[in-house]
Amino acid sequence: MGDWSNAAKVGAMTIAFSVALYFAYAYISREAGTGSGYAVWANLPDVTGVAPRSRVMISGVQVGVVDKISLVDGKVRVDIKMKPEFPLYDDAAIGRRASSLIGEYFIVLTPGTTGKERIPDGGKVKYVIEEATLETLQIQLRDILSDVKEVTGTLKDTVGSDQGQERIDTILKNLAETTEQLNAAVRENRVGLRDALRNVNAIAADSRPELLAILNNIKQTTGDVKGFTGKGEPGEPSGELRSTLERVNRASDSLESLLKHADNVAARVDRGEGTVGRLMTDEALIDEVEEVVSGVSDLVGGFGRLQTVVELRSDYNFLANTVKSYVGLRLQPSEDKYYLVEIVNDPRGLTTFEQIDVDTTNPNDPPHYREIRTTTTNSFRFSFQFAKRFGMFTGRFGFKESTGGIGLDAHLLDDRFEVRQDLFGFGEQIVPRWRVALSYEFIRKLWLLGGVDNILSEDRRDYFFGLQLRFNDEDIKGALPFAGSAIN
């Protein structure tokens, strides 16, 4: 009766621990809040770096997750699960943005204009946000340099050409002729001018007080103009007009220097000099850059498609009356293969066998005999296996609970029901350890398990029941590039 009481306590504790794990996952899951939401879809020109369960953001706030990425009629289709409190309207737009330097991307949305018709459940987001690329930046730079070259060419043709010099000579010649004609007119009207000056003197003598007042006003006005346009003393500011002209002069000098520099840069680019020039004229270099970019894109894209699936599992062994715990991580670069790393806490410990040959002179013992010593230690077991899927079956090979082992899994009911078989423990006992387990995903990401362990050994055979929480944690994927440096 005491054994059954202990078993009931352990079973209740296991169930409580599993329920706590489920609610903890529901709280931290990126899909939390989308269960009662709605679905939308859109066509994107490129989804490199975007994977299922990627975040969907509006102004930095997560509003949903990517549910599925598929190719329909040659176009990429992205299905999104939205939270119900974030509506999308008819003029909403969708795009892709980078979240790190290693090529990981997420989906961004603009919700549209409030008051317009809302996008219904299963509706389409019609508009796409264009992305700036290296190619568009190169085209814009080339257009700017072309415009600058045209401006410098126009200035050169206007001022520095022979025609421009001829125009300047003509202007100077016309000015000289005008001055000569003015002198001739003065000589011809000298008598009239003398009489006019006499009249002015007479008027000035009669109007001297008024003229003095006018001259004082003119003096004051010229003083004001001088202060407005003159150059200040050392330590004092110059006049406002003069300061403006000085700034204009400096700006024109800077513009001239800039135009000369731009013309030199454009000439070097045309000749294929420098990095930009070689990039635009050297076809072999362009091909090499394209190959490097393509290789980096493939590498980053492969890492972006990597899925990191966490497995947390607890089993209760009925006959041994113990709880066995598993912590596993699947590194899954594609749908049909993955690498499994697992740590197992087995209360029955890790059993090792040591064979010793003994020579003795004791007459009560044979002169030569062999001892086999069995050692059981309370230490963790480790698993590392490579898995490859073929249709509804998945084969596994590698280390299983610190011993060599193989496994075969069968997937049924849209991968929600699995039959797992493991054969391992070679050398731990006379016959290998054969384990068969049935698992069913009765709630999304939460699996119910049951099976038989050590089927081939009657004295170590046991029956178990357990729960497993399996989910994709993309935060672990983001930390993987830094794991190597952290270990060092």
3-state secondary structure 89-107: ECCCEEEEEECCCCCCEEE
pLDDT over 70 at 246, yes or no: yes
% of the chain exceeding 90 in pLDDT: 27
- The pLDDT confidence band at residue 39, using thresholds 50, 70 and 90, is very high
Q: Per mean pLDDT, which range of 90-99, 256-265, 291-300 is the poorest?
A: 291-300
pLDDT over 90 at 265, yes or no: no
Average pLDDT, the chain: 79
Question: Which pLDDT does position 101 carry in this prediction?
Answer: 59
Question: Which pLDDT does position 25 carry in this prediction?
Answer: 53
Residues 6+ apart with CB under 8 A from 421: 407, 408, 409, 434, 435, 436, 437
Residue ranges covered by each domain of the chain: 33-128, 142-229+237-271, 274-303, 306-487
- The pLDDT confidence band at residue 303, using thresholds 50, 70 and 90, is low
pLDDT over 80 at 31, yes or no: no
Question: Which pLDDT does position 298 carry in this prediction?
Answer: 60
Q: Per mean pLDDT, which range of 6-15, 158-167, 213-222, 294-303 is the poorest?
A: 294-303
pLDDT over 50 at 235, yes or no: yes
Nearest to 21 by CA among 308, 307, 309, 311: 311
CB count within 10 Å of CB 463 equals 13
Dihedral, CA of residue 199, residue 202, residue 206 and residue 212, to nearest 10 = 90
Question: Which pLDDT does position 488 carry in this prediction?
Answer: 44
pLDDT over 90 at 98, yes or no: no
Q: Which fold has domain 306-487?
A: Porin (2.40.160)
456-480 pLDDT tens trace: 888 889 999 999 999 988 777 666 6
Q: What is the mean pLDDT of residues 59-64?
A: 89
Tokens of 264: 């030199």
Q: What is the mean pLDDT of residues 249-257?
A: 81
- The pLDDT confidence band at residue 151, using thresholds 50, 70 and 90, is confident
DSSP SS3 for 325: strand
Rounded Cα distance, 66 and 72, in Å: 16
**Residue 78 CA to its chain's centroid (Å):** 18
Query: Do 407 and 428 form a contact (C-beta atoms < 8 A)?
Result: no
Q: Are strands 307-317 and 381-390 parallel, antiparallel or unpaired?
A: unpaired
Nearest to 422 by CA among 410, 438, 406: 406
DSSP code of 348? T
- Residue burial 383-413, b: 16+ Cβ < 10 Å; e: rest: bebebebeeeebebebbbbbbebebebeeee
In a 10 Å sphere around its CB, with 0-12 CB exposed, 13-18 middle and 19+ buried, how is residue 439 labelled?
Answer: buried
CB count within 10 Å of CB 112 equals 20
**Residue 154 CA to its chain's centroid (Å):** 45
Q: What are the angstrom distances between the C-alpha of 274 and each of 7, 136, 139, 281?
A: 78, 20, 18, 11
Residue matched to tokens 């001055």: 179
pLDDT over 50 at 428, yes or no: yes
Dmax (CA) for the chain in angstroms is 165
**Alpha helices per DSSP H over 354-479:** 474-479
Q: What is the mean pLDDT of residues 182-205?
A: 77
341-370 pLDDT tens trace: 999 988 776 666 567 777 777 777 787 777
Q: What is the mean pLDDT of residues 425-447?
A: 88
Q: Per mean pLDDT, which range of 225-239, 278-292, 318-332 is the poorest?
A: 225-239
Question: Which pLDDT does position 11 carry in this prediction?
Answer: 75
